[in-house]
Structure 1
Amino acid sequence: MSSCQRLADIIGGEVITSTPVCVVQRLRNINATILGRRTRSPLALPFALSFENNKNGETLNLGETVILQSEINPFLSALRRRGITVTAVHNHWLFENPRLMYMHWENVGDPFEFARNSYKAAKEVGLI
């Protein structure tokens, strides 16, 4: 089994691409509409992680999830307790219901630890 598949398995997701960067994703279960139309698009409902090795053997680990406004502070705190830096909270869409926000987080380090900590933080606050 590939390292990328093992990372996908940690979050209960699937491999989106494995080269040149490993991207794994699962969808959030949010009943959402954009422009009055129901969406299950991975652009609208992601819980996604990417892992990129550099020449020094360090891995840049990035995360993004769709998040409801009431979930922002609990998830941000859960990530920070695990030593993960939250870098952005913003919207992507107009005319969506409920209001969908997106959070990004990052670190450099062990990709498996990042995946486990991201998953545990999301699970702790009920995102997944």
Structure 2
Amino acid sequence: MKKMFMVAALFAAFSLVACGGEQPKQTEESVDAIEEVAEEAAEAAEEAAEEAEAVAEELAEEAEAVAEELAEEAEDLAEELSKEAEAVAKDLVKAAEKVSAESIKAAEKAAGEAMKAAEKAAEEAMKAALKL
């Protein structure tokens, strides 16, 4: 903003020097026009900066609101996943208990069959011993 005004002032100074110290009416009008344009440009730049600042503030507020909403959603999802994980863990415990019960029954059955086989083998061994 200020640079534009300084450029206009320098242009006016160079024009004055180029004319040998005399400032013709046309050059004076040009300098005035340049100064006016520079002032308008400075005002426009200042307004644009103010608008940009307002937009930046608005965007920051919107970003904060979105961040809060996302944090709430993440918290809800974490809670939901925790509940689901707990339910899955309970199901796994039940399945393990069922497998354990079935394993115990199978082991008992195998032990019973082994006992019967051992008894039968003992009987046959006794029969064989009696034959001798």
Structure whose residues are more often strand by fraction: 1
Q: Which entry has the higher C-alpha Rg, 1 or 2?
A: 2
Higher relative contact order (CA 8 A, sep 6+): 1
TM-score by length of 1: 0.20
